[in-house]
């Protein structure tokens, strides 16, 4: 399921490297977004992340209405 995942060890300053193959796959060039996703971290291209959120905003709103009707 996570065949493209890599274990990375932080350097002394807490930085990690992202393999070139993953940077290319995710189109990571300049601005990135780091999100927590349950037990892992995801790194997205800034533009791709904003597009993902825009595409799913209505679905998120519908779910919140089902979980907390009338609260928002």
**Residue pLDDT, tens place only, 19-43:** 898 899 889 999 999 999 888 888 9
- Predicted pLDDT of residue 27: 92
pLDDT over 90, % of the chain: 36
Closest-CA residue to 29 (of 20, 41, 40): 20
Which residues sit opposite 35 in a β-bridge? 42
Average pLDDT over residues 34-58: 88
> Cα–Cα distance between 8 and 56 in angstroms, integer?
31
Closest-CA residue to 35 (of 44, 24, 27, 46): 44
């Amino acid at each position: 399921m996570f065949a493209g995942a890599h274990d990375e060890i932080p350097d002394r300053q807490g930085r990690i490297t992202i393999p070139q193959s993953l940077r290319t796959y995710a189109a990571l060039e300049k601005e990135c977004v780091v999100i927590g996703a349950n037990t892992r971290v995801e790194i997205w291209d800034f533009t791709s992340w904003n597009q993902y959120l825009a595409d799913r905003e209505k679905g998120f709103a519908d779910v919140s209405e089902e979980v907390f009707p009338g609260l928002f």
